Amino acid sequence: MFLKMVKRTTALSIVLFLSGQVLALEPGAAPQAPAGNTMGIPLSAPLPPGLYYTSSTKFLTGSLKDDNGDNLGLDLNAPASTSIFIYTPGFQVLGGDYRAWLAVPFIQAEEKISNPMLGEPGKHSRTALANIDVHFADISWTLAPGQFLSSGLGVITTTGFWKEGSTNTSGEYWSINPRLGYSLMNQDWNIALESHYFYNFENDKNKYDSGDEFFFDATLLKKFNFIEGLQVGPIGYIREQVTDDKNNGTAYYGTTNDKARQMGLGVQVLKDFGRGLFVGVSWTKDLETRNAVSNDGRFTLNVSVPMFMKNKPKPVNLPTKF
């Protein structure tokens, strides 16, 4: 097993060197969140005091791309399910509604390797937790009826499976995750703009420091009156690695990887049943992928359910969903 790991790590280091330092972040380490992770979810809108549960299930297929967008010989099938627990205590901080959430992702990563320089040819799989997101502070401000601004801060842990040269469900590095968002929700539209920054720390096991990343998600849903609660529209995302990787050790022969970039579009259909209950289905695909695993077609199912509500929502134009 040890020799197999060394062989695969060595081969991956060689292909990194020959291809001009490709791949994003540390080799074999997933980003802390998939591109487009918050599309269709109005994070900036306040919630009535209570506890809410959201299940986000994604079915992703993709391929590892180089700096030119060409396949490197690794295909990935990664169905994943994330359980999100949102708590709104009912008090205000800095003039806005305070809330916090915990996101627990579970991933089944299935690799198919056809390039021997990327590891042993054939299929490899791993089913395990990914890194848990502890978003401990978030504030939502009501700018005007139906318009909301929010900002918050979270920490991404190292709870996922990672082993150098193996099939992994996460990276072995902590991250600080500040976010800023805006939501417009009125009788005709559900618009959400979300930006996230991931300040990534060094992997203390091999001294590889993955570069920081910026994510931007956009949702533009039109509400239709002929079916109560129906919303349909386009969604899109951008993922941009903004700082270079640093290799402060000897892993991967001291090489570092180039910056990742992803851009994609899709469509979402959402049915809002009221009182914090909604179901959304979306499909997205990358328009551009560089130094990352592409999204060649991803279906997402989001289901939100109120677990406990302290007070019955007032009949005003405020969203009651996450």
CA distances from 267 to 3, 22, 37, 262, 291 (A): 46, 30, 14, 17, 25
Report yes or no: 212 and 200 within 8 Å, Cβ to Cβ: yes
Contacts of 129 (CB under 8 A, 6+ apart): 104, 105, 106, 107, 159, 160, 161, 169, 170
Q: What is the DSSP letter of 293?
A: B
The pair of structure tokens assigned to 138 is: 């978030």
Report yes or no: 295 and 264 within 8 Å, Cβ to Cβ: yes
Task: Decide: helix, strand or coil at residue 10.
Answer: helix
pLDDT tens digits, one per residue of 122-151: 888 889 999 999 999 999 999 999 999 999
pLDDT tens digits, one per residue of 207-261: 888 899 999 999 999 999 888 889 999 999 999 999 988 888 777 777 777 889 9
H or E stretch at 3: helix 2-18
H or E stretch at 139: strand 133-144
Q: Parse the chain into domains and list their residue ranges.
A: 2-309
Q: Does the structure show a pLDDT above 70 at 13?
A: no
pLDDT tens digits, one per residue of 293-306: 999 999 999 999 99
Spatial distance between the Cα atoms of 5 and 133, rounded to a whole number of angstroms: 29
- This prediction's pTM: 0.84
Spatial distance between the Cα atoms of 261 and 218, rounded to a whole number of angstroms: 17
Share of the chain above pLDDT 70, in %: 87
Query: Looking at the domain covering 2-309, what would its CATH class be?
Result: mainly beta
Q: What is the DSSP letter of 251?
A: G
Closest CA to 58 of 298, 292, 296, 305: 298
